[in-house]
């Protein structure tokens, strides 16, 4: 049985974390440097943004994880270390400074950055802050680390679960940042996941790569795929289970635990989209296959017109049909049903591709809630998919109009 627990990225045995303000940000009340550390060597896996413009930390991390191992994750916020002539050098020096303080190999460090693109990253405050960052490592430090990676996020994003493999209790938890510049096709944010389950590096990579297709690749806030984002998982094996080295029952259990945490983080990221007031979840069923369902779900969740209608609590279902129509999916538009649902109830607005009579008052009551489900049936097929997004508000433009200055 998989149970939600507290602890976030420190829920797993042997993991400690911390977050501090080192001076990258002008606002001294905001943490801007985070650290996650494993007491023993861990297998590691990662997925990276598909944007051709990639931040230097991603390139350095990819090289470091070539052997499938890591011990620590360091991440700064406030500056993305992207499109800088000395970006690689700075990322490597971050790794080396941390490794020296921890007494580990620099190749065992995952390095990440988030914030403004194209602004030189001053290494001095980071190097000067690392000793305090390391001294403050704690099994209760997950919250501080979650704060240290935030940019325009308004809330910390963390989740954790416990589960059993081979009679051993295992734990898996993670933290994430993501509010803007979020769009499908991995990666769409920064996510750091830890587990004390024993699993080989190839199987850990298989688990992560398989999971993101149904989770992080199904989240969109604004249609912009970021340059610096990745998801990493460290597994230190301290739970004592027999190492997972193949696809079996234990691997299936691990996948379910991983998916439970990643779905929770997806919902938190989408619900905290820049300027957002509502979490949107689009559930598509009845598709001829899963790829078709995914294409439709993502098209609907990415529609700026639909997102704006949800902000205004306007049951403008025609915008759902419009997004389905231009999605490129092979769909019989005469078989499409659409409903909206929230804690205030559910209302059908379209049957067989055409509008049906419904109460506008009831629909508005449903759509005024903070979490909205858009339910779409495409017919009698077996394909289904879920995508997450948020409404489009005035505040999104306000936040991004002067983000750099």
Please identify every residue annotated as catalytic.
188
Strands 383-390 and 279-287: antiparallel
Q: Are strands 15-20 and 33-48 parallel, antiparallel or unpaired?
A: antiparallel
Nearest residue to 399 (alpha-carbon basis) of 216, 275, 262: 275
Quote the distance between the C-alpha of residue 374 and its chain's center.
21
Helix (H) or strand (E) holding 325: helix 318-325
The span from the CA of 198 to the CA of 214, in Å, is 24
3-state secondary structure of 199: strand
Q: How far apart are CA 176 and CA 34, in angstroms?
A: 12
Residue 270: which of 168, 373, 172, 161 has the closest Cα?
373
Q: Which residues have CB under 8 Å from 13's CB, separation 6+?
A: 171, 196, 236, 238, 239
Residue ranges in 112-248 assigned as alpha helix (H): 124-135, 142-148, 201-212
Tell me the β-bridge partners of 176: 157, 191
Retrieve residue 1's tokens: 């049985």
Residues 6+ apart with CB under 8 A from 103: none
Two tokens at 315?
């049951």
SS3 380: coil
Q: Give just the sign of the alpha carbon dihedral 207, 208, 213, 216.
A: positive
SS3 state at 368: coil
Query: What is the DSSP track for 68-128?
Result: SEEEEEEEEEEE---S-TTHHHHHHHHHHHHHHHHTS-GGGEEEEEEEETT-PPPSHHHHH
**Could you tell me the two tokens for 296?**
């439709």
């Amino acid at each position: 049985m998989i149970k939600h627990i507290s602890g976030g990225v420190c829920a797993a045995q042997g993991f400690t974390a911390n977050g501090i303000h080192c001076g990258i940000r002008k606002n001294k009340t905001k943490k801007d440097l985070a650290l996650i550390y494993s007491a023993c060597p861990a297998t590691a896996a990662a997925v990276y943004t598909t944007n051709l413009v990639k931040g230097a930390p991603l390139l350095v991390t990819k090289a470091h994880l070539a052997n499938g191992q890591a011990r620590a994750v360091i991440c700064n916020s406030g500056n993305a270390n992207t499109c800088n002539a000395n970006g690689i050098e700075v990322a490597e020096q971050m790794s080396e400074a941390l490794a020296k303080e921890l007494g580990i190999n620099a190749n065992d460090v995952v390095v990440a950055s988030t914030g403004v693109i194209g602004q030189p990253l001053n290494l001095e405050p980071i190097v000067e802050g690392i000793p305090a960052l390391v001294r403050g490592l704690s099994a209760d430090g997950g919250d501080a680390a979650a704060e240290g990676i935030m940019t325009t996020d308004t809330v910390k994003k963390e989740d954790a679960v416990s589960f059993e493999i081979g009679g051993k209790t295992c734990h898996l938890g993670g933290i994430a940042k993501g509010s803007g510049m979020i769009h499908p096709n991995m990666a769409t944010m920064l996510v750091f996941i830890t587990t004390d389950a024993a699993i080989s590096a190839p199987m850990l990579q298989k688990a992560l790569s398989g999971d993101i297709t149904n989770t992080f690749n199904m989240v969109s806030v604004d249609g912009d795929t970021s340059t610096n984002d990745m998801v990493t998982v460290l597994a230190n094996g301290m739970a004592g289970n027999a190492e997972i080295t193949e696809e079996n029952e234990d691997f299936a259990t691990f996948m379910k635990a991983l998916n439970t945490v990643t779905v929770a983080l997806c919902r938190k990221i989408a619900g905290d989209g820049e300027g957002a007031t509502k979490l949107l979840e689009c559930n598509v069923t009845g598709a001829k296959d899963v790829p078709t369902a995914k294409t439709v779900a993502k098209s609907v969740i990415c529609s700026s017109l639909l997102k704006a209608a949800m902000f205004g609590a306007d049951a403008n279902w025609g915008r759902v049909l419009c997004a389905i129509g231009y999605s490129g999916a092979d769909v019989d538009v005469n078989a499409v049903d659409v409903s909206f649902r929230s804690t205030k109830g559910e209302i059908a607005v379209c049957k067989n591709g055409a509008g049906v009579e419904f109460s506008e008052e009831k629909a508005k009551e449903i759509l005024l809630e903070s979490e909205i489900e858009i339910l779409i049936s495409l017919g009698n097929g077996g394909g289904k998919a879920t995508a997450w997004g948020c409404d489009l508000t005035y505040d999104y433009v306000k936040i991004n109009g002067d983000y750099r200055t």
